Each structure stands twice: as C-alpha cells, then as structure tokens.
C-alpha cells in the first residue's frame, strides 16, 4: 500500500517537471535517538516489509532522488551502507537517480561517498575537508566522486532552473484550494455512525473541543509547511452556514487565548506543538447546552514532532479530562435524545475501544491540511459521502502490537550523557522481533481483536460485490469484479485485494494486501467493474536460506474485500513452484533475532 501511494504521489509531482525525493531509506521507524539507532532486522522482514514499498515506488514512478535514513541497519549507517545504496538499490534494482543524506546524517563522509550516497546534506566544512584529504591520500578514488556527481547532474539537467524556465508567479490558487479540499475529504474515514450523520443545516451545533477552533493542519518539523491560511472546523462549519451556539464559541475563544499565552515558544521548529488542554465543563453547564442545541460535535486533537516519539499517556491514551468530557457530553445530549459526534484531528493511531460507545458518530479527519474545516464540513453536511479506508489497524490496547516490546529502542549505555542537541542521539538499538508480523498481518495471523481493522471505513450508502473473475496471462494476473451502489446516497467504495498464499515450509501471513482501487462516484443503483492487476512475482516470499524470492506450489486464494475482516468474494487459482529471483546476501543481522512465530 505504501509503495502504491508513494508512486502515485511521485508521478503526480514529476508530471509537472519537478523532481520528488522519497525517504527515509530504510527502516527508520523510530524518532527517538534515530541518528544513533541501530535497527536490527532479519533479511526476510527487511525485504518483505521495509524495502518492498521503496521497490514498488521506484518501479512504478522512478523518483529523481532517494534520501537515506539516519539509522544504522544491522550495524552500518544507512548513508554509509554500500550493500544498501549500491549493491541493492543500483545493481539489483537498477535505480538511476541520486541518493542524498538526511540532514547531518552519518559519521564518515568518505564512507558515504564510497557507499553511493551522492549528495551530503546540507554539507559541512568538516565533510568537505575529509573528502578532499581522502582524495589526496588515495583513500578515495576520484572516479567515485565523478560517479556521484554525474548522478546529481543527470537530474539537475532536468530542472526548471537549468533550463531557464521563467515562472509566472501566478498559480491558480482557487483551483488548488478545491484540490486540497477534495483530497482531504477523500481520505477521511467514517469509523462509526448511528444515524447521526449527515446533519442538515437547520441543526444548531454546540461545538466543543480546542481543536475545533485550533484545528491541526499537519505535523511539525519536516512535516510542516508555511501556510498562507488555515481553515478550522469552526470556520468550515460557519462557511457552510451551520447554526452555532455563539455563547459557547465565545467561551472557547476566550479560553484558548488565555491558555495559549501560558505556553512558552518552541526552542526548535521540529519540536512537538504543545496543545491547549481541554476546557472543563460542569455537568450542569453541559445539560443547559444540550437543552439549547440540537447536536454536539467534539473535536479531539493530537500532534507530534521530529526526533521524539509519541507516548502512551495523554497521547495514545486519552487524558482523564478528555474521557470525562466525552462521557459527560454523551450523557448530557443523550438525556435530551440528541446526537453526539466526535471528529478526530489526529496524525496517528489512538486508543478508541474504551470510549467509542459514547459517540453516535466518529469521523477520522486526520490532519487534513489548510482546507481541513471546509472538508470536514463537506462530510458532516453530506456534500461529500465519506469513502476513506484505514491504512492502519486501531488496536484495543497498545500492548496488543508486538513491536511495542522493543519500540522505540533501548539505550546501549543508560549512563551515557545526553547530548544537548536532539540531532545527536544516544547510541541505541531496536530489535525487530515481530519480524513480518506487523499491522494487519499480526492481527490476522494471531486472531487478535482490534478496535477498527485495517482497511475499515463506513459510508452513507451501501455496496454489493459480485461477478469475481481472475484472468492469468503468463505472470500477469487480472482480478475484476462488479461493485453496485445499493443504498440511497451517491458514493464511492474502495475495493481491496488480499491473497492467501499456498502452504509451504516457511510460515506466512494469513493474507496480504496485493492491490486496491476506488470506484468512481456511483449514483444510487449504478454499478462499475473494478480491475486490479497483480503479478505472480508479487505473490512470493523471501527465502533467507537461498536468498531468493520464492513461490510455493499450491492453491492461492484471491479475496476481494471492503476491509481486512470483510471478505466479499474469493476464488482460488493454482500456481507451480518456482524461484522468482535470486539475490545477493545483503545486510544480514550479526546477532540472532528471536522472531515472533505462530509455530
């Protein structure tokens, strides 16, 4: 999934003549101490999970550049790793673009040059002098620098600046706003709906939650952009002519202004934003507000930064004040036979199992950019029927996820002094003991219940799946089915293709996602034939004994689903055993990993 989405994004960017850089290559999954973290991962997990998305993106979009990651991979920094950047990326995969470091990454500029890390960012005098001295002493062959510079220049020759393009400085901002608004709405996920959504404009709204008024557009650090404007949930609903409890909104505006004045400015741009704590309300105040309004909407916000990972309490888990407010809002409005809606303005998974029953509807809006409020209003009002699906699993508890045992890594010497700059991490290691069992692969294989499964997402309408066909032409496999809108509202559906592999000597996930597609906007009663293509080569596993992508003989079950736990259609085909591709032994761990197993 990550590879397909990345490829689509890169193709869009590069269709405008602008180069895209994909990152961080590879296995940079922890922020804590990431500049000094040793990722210890098996060959199979590295190949099947962490490298696979990059391979798909490269094959399907050919990005101009790749950014190597801060971390070590089985003992060697990614930016200094010749196995990764030359033997695998260039020799095995055939990538022809250039590689840049993350900012100030690695420790040895000469090793980075030899490895195939063409561009050092942002570049320092220390690196310059080290490279120059290595060339003079004969430690670094000048032909390596020529090679690296050649790869950079090859892409530079494509740029607007080299080709003396003169920009108009007149972008179509209004058209861009529409694109941003629609993109935000398309990705929102309706998690729950008990006849609460959509709401009509005659409804008087009691709008609760700090992030209803201070809506989060996106992440901080490298995930942040300089925004010309930002539309909050309040502003979006107001622009859609919703009716508000003006005294409530005034109370929030005063409260937020007072609380923000107490928050000190950030020391560095990539630090996590400190959010204003939720305003407390008495049960009597909420009862009065429930009497004077038709529906309550509460927006819950979360944010994060670079070089630090999220934490359990007050981040993944809600605070006691947040849970109490949700419960009291539910009680107050349900006592008056009125609905209670929650909007999640978050960038990652949070705990939902313990409180979701309090809400009549839950809309996962994510951190949807500058047009956030307008896009949320489009969904709440019903101008757009939600069609997003979860790209992650929402667990019941954090400990249900096996990687939490080692995440975000362990400091090798707990007594080591902490550096002043977060850019300089403390030497640590993180062992990927979960192996290939991450996300839905784990939840499926070990029959662990989730709060919301991978691929889940509701709609204001319903869909029927039929007429599954599988056509095999050599190694190419084409899967098609018909999807019909059987409800009362026009809408879109995301069709997901999973494949259960034949049994073999090596254990495998219960099933794996092999493709997905979204329908056009289907009118009530309208059908569309959806086609998803895959390849026999995508159905194999990585054999760490033979160091080869391998296909087992047997029956392969192709399953068309609306989410990972809702299989609509399935059909089996038989495939013969074969070696798909033999590779080199690269980046193998130097220590034994006790990987999670069903056996």
Domain range list for the chain: 2-156, 189-385, 462-582
Q: Which residue has the higher pLDDT, 226 or 394?
A: 394
What pLDDT was estimated at residue 267? 80
- What CATH number does domain 2-156 carry, 2.60.40.420, 3.40.50.10490, 3.20.20.300, 3.40.50.300? 3.20.20.300
Summarised one tens digit per residue, pLDDT across range 335-387 is 999 999 999 999 999 999 999 999 999 999 999 999 999 999 999 999 999 99
Over 90: is that where the pLDDT of 307 sits? no
Summarised one tens digit per residue, pLDDT across range 178-205 is 999 999 999 999 999 999 999 998 899 9
Q: Tell if the pTM clears 0.85, that is, is over it.
A: yes
**Catalytic: 172?**
no
Average pLDDT value for residue range 511-531 = 98
Nearest to 582, CA basis, from 554, 547, 552: 547
What pLDDT was estimated at residue 356? 98
| Residues whose CB is less than 8 angstroms from the CB of residue 331 and which lie 6 or more positions away in sequence, other chains included | 283, 286
Q: Are 184 and 372 in contact (CB under 8 A)?
A: yes
Average pLDDT value for residue range 277-300 = 97
Average pLDDT value for residue range 14-21 = 96
What pLDDT was estimated at residue 25? 97
Can you name the CATH fold of 189-385? Rossmann fold (3.40.50)
Over 90: is that where the pLDDT of 221 sits? no
Rounded CA gap, 403 and 432, in Å? 7
Q: Are 370 and 228 in contact (CB under 8 A)?
A: yes
Summarised one tens digit per residue, pLDDT across range 22-54 is 999 999 999 999 999 999 999 999 999 999 999
What pLDDT was estimated at residue 152? 97
Average pLDDT value for residue range 233-247 = 94
CATH number assigned to the domain covering 462-582: 2.60.40.10
Rounded CA gap, 234 and 246, in Å? 11
Summarised one tens digit per residue, pLDDT across range 108-162 is 999 999 999 999 999 999 999 999 999 999 999 999 999 999 999 999 999 999 9
Over 90: is that where the pLDDT of 225 sits? no
Over 80: is that where the pLDDT of 423 sits? no
Rounded CA gap, 17 and 434, in Å? 41
Over 90: is that where the pLDDT of 529 sits? yes
The two tokens of residue 215 are 């809506």
Dihedral, CA atoms, 187, 174, 212, 395, nearest 10 degrees? Answer: 10
**pLDDT band of 305, cuts 50, 70, 90:** confident
Rounded CA gap, 128 and 109, in Å? 8
Summarised one tens digit per residue, pLDDT across range 105-116 is 999 999 999 999
Catalytic residue among 83, 102, 294, 552: 102
| Residues whose CB is less than 8 angstroms from the CB of residue 52 and which lie 6 or more positions away in sequence, other chains included | 3
State the SS3 of 162-189: CCCCCCCCCCCHHHHHHHHHHHHHHHCE
Over 90: is that where the pLDDT of 422 sits? no
- Residue 97 backbone zone (phi > 0: left; psi -120 to 50: alpha; other: beta): beta
Residue 586, judged by CB atoms within 10 A of its CB (0-12, 13-18, 19+), counts as buried
Summarised one tens digit per residue, pLDDT across range 489-519 is 999 999 999 999 999 989 999 999 999 999 9
Average pLDDT value for residue range 565-587 = 97
Average pLDDT value for residue range 437-444 = 97
The two tokens of residue 464 are 């029927």
């Amino acid at each position: 999934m990550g590879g397909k989405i990345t490829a689509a994004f890169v193709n869009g960017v590069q269709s405008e003549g602008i180069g895209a850089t994909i990152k961080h290559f590879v296995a940079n999954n922890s922020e804590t101490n990431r500049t000094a973290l040793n990722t210890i991962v098996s060959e199979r997990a590295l190949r099947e999970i962490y490298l696979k998305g990059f391979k798909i993106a490269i094959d399907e979009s050919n990005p101009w550049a790749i950014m190597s990651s801060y971390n070590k991979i089985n003992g060697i920094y990614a930016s200094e790793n010749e196995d990764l950047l030359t033997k695998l990326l260039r020799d095995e995969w055939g990538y022809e673009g250039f590689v840049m470091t993350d900012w100030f990454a690695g420790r040895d500029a000469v090793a980075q040059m030899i490895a195939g890390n063409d561009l050092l960012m942002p570049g320092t005098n220390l690196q310059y002098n080290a490279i120059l001295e290595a060339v003079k002493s004969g430690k670094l062959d000048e032909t390596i620098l020529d090679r690296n510079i050649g790869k950079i220049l090859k892409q530079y020759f494509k740029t607007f600046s080299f080709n003396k393009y003169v920009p108009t400085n007149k972008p179509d901002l209004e058209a861009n706003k529409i694109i941003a608004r629609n993109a935000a709405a398309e990705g929102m996920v309706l998690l729950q709906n008990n006849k609460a959504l959509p709401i009509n404009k005659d409804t008087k709204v009691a709008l609760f939650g700090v992030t209803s008024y201070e809506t989060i557009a996106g992440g901080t650090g490298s995930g942040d952009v300089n925004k010309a404007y930002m539309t909050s949930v309040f502003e979006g609903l107001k622009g859609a002519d919703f009716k508000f409890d003006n005294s409530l909104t005034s109370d929030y505006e005063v409260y937020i202004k007072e609380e923000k004045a107490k928050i000190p400015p950030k020391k560095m741009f990539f630090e996590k934003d400190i959010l204003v704590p939720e305003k407390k309300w008495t049960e009597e105040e909420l009862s009065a507000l429930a009497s004077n309004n038709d529906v309550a909407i509460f927006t819950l916000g979360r944010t994060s930064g670079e070089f630090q990972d999220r934490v359990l309490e007050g981040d993944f888990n809600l605070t006691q004040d947040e849970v109490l407010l949700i419960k009291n809002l539910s009680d107050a409005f349900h006592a008056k036979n009125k609905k209670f809606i929650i909007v999640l303005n978050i960038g990652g998974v949070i705990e939902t199992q313990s409180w979701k029953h309090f809400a009549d509807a839950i809309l996962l809006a994510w951190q949807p950019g500058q047009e956030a409020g307008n896009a949320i209003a489009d969904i709440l009002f019903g101008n757009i029927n939600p069609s997003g699906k979860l790209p992650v699993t929402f667990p019941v508890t954090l400990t249900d996820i096996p990687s939490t045992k080692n995440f975000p890594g362990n400091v090798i010497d707990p007594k080591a002094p902490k550096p002043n700059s977060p850019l300089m991490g403390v030497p640590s290691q993180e062992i990927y003991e979960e192996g290939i069992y991450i996300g839905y692969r784990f939840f499926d294989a070990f029959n662990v219940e989730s709060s919301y499964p991978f691929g889940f997402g509701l709609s204001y309408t319903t869909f029927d799946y039929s007429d599954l066909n599988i056509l095999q032409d050599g190694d190419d496999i084409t899967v098609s089915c018909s999807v019909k809108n059987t409800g009362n509202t026009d809408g879109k559906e995301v069709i997901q293709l999973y494949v259960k592999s034949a049994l073999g000597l090596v254990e495998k996930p219960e099933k794996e996602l092999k493709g997905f597609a979204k329908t056009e906007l289907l009118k009530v009663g309208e059908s569309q034939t959806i086609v998803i293509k895959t390849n026999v080569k995508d159905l194999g596993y990585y054999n760490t004994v033979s160091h080869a992508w391998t296909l087992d003989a047997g029956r392969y079950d192709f399953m068309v689903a609306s989410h990972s736990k809702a299989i609509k259609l399935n059909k089996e085909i038989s495939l013969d055993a074969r070696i798909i591709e033999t590779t080199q032994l690269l980046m193998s761990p130097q220590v034994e990993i006790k990987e999670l197993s069903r056996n």
